[in-house]
Structure 1
């Protein structure tokens, strides 16, 4: 078998926990499929790991377990992800819709030095998404629920939301059909 050539059925090269179900389309009539973790748009597909939800090119994991903020952060790192950083109103709307009445830790923490809310990437909250409740403790951490973004004790146990980029496959208009994943082109071979 030649390297990069697929025979019989289309199989993706190994990647951790990727959702390999559903199909991709080759034209502009592709629609979003949130339940399968697959997003197909104009000749490309985006995949999320099994059990993660897709939203706007990102993958989100909503835990069913409950841990404190630091343990939640560590769990996301073990999944090659991070606690979610909210940078757009659409992301906050998505998170509040999925959270419903449950509470989930997010990547936001109150800085003890300046009393500023900071995301894990070092950016400040800047009032873009107001904190609904705060605590008098300097050990305050962010969380999201159906009622929005709030703050509370870092030591409290809640679920958590991890995020990472979706994996993208780009379909090539070729004969036989092929797609690009990373820097490698894979060709589908078989009776057409």
Structure 2
């Protein structure tokens, strides 16, 4: 009976195992003859197939050397990677410090920008308020100048009348630049108002310029008044406007959006309480009227 025994060799780089199994089968023990050398003394092992060389042991030793070389190379690479990682950490630390400084500067810039915007807003508000005051002051100055001019013209006209042979304006009529004006206190249609003016030797007022318009506007007394102005229609469309003396309209003082000829029947013109002009139906009885006649000299 043959007796076999097995042995294993382990090499463990990186905790990995490589094994070779060497089977050595021994024949029945028989002692060599006296004086004869043992077969294994020459590096051979007896067996059923003859002696086997110790080649597996040499291969294992070579593989082990290669693995140890790889292990050294890996250790070297690991050391280099550790150094690179340390350098990167240092750079990251520097970048973090720079970022913190930049963030602080950015926050300061934001604060300064907010303060600048607030100051700019305050300056714009102050400038707007100043502009409104200047505009209001100019408007008031313009009105005051117009009032002074009107009063001066009225005084000059009164002085001229006193020193001339011109007829004085009737009672309840106001003089202005050689004409007399009557502001009615009752209302009537446009045609009725014109008849009443003609009955008084006058006509519905004809506005020839801004000075006369200013005089009329200052005496509206919160009423609306008919003017001596009507539309001229052709084919149901307004072509122009004409005064009661037959002269076409040149100077005008229309309110915003006027004349609009609402419903196609606003042929007559009246003056609003603000002094602005508006077209209206001639048969409206809501407005008073202004008569005008030249002073006779």
Q: What TM-score comes out, normalization by structure 1 length?
A: 0.63
Alignment of 1:11-160 (within 5 A): 32=154, 39-41=158-160, 43-44=163-164, 46=166, 47-113=168-234, 115=238, 116-126=240-250, 128-132=251-255, 133-134=258-259, 135-136=261-262, 137-147=264-274, 148-157=276-285, 158-160=287-289
SS in 2 for 1:112: strand
Offset, 1:138: 3.8
1:117-155 superposed Cα distances (whole Å, 9 cap, x missing partner): 1111122224x2143233332442111134222211111
More strand by share: 1
Unmatched runs of 5 consecutive residues or more in structure 1? 1-29, 169-192
The structure 1 segments of at least 4 consecutive aligned residues displaced by more than 6 Å after TM superposition are none
For residues 125 and 77 of structure 1, the distance between their equivalents in structure 2, rounded to whole angstroms, comes to 21
Name which one, 1 or 2, has greater alpha-carbon Rg: 2
SS in 2 for 1:85: coil
Contact persistence 1:111–1:138 (CA under 8 A)? no
1:104-125 superposed Cα distances (whole Å, 9 cap, x missing partner): 0010001122611111112222
More helix by share: 2
* Cα RMSD (Å): 2.5
Contact persistence 1:95–1:144 (CA under 8 A)? no
Q: What TM-score comes out, normalization by structure 2 length?
A: 0.42
For residues 144 and 160 of structure 1, the distance between their equivalents in structure 2, rounded to whole angstroms, comes to 9
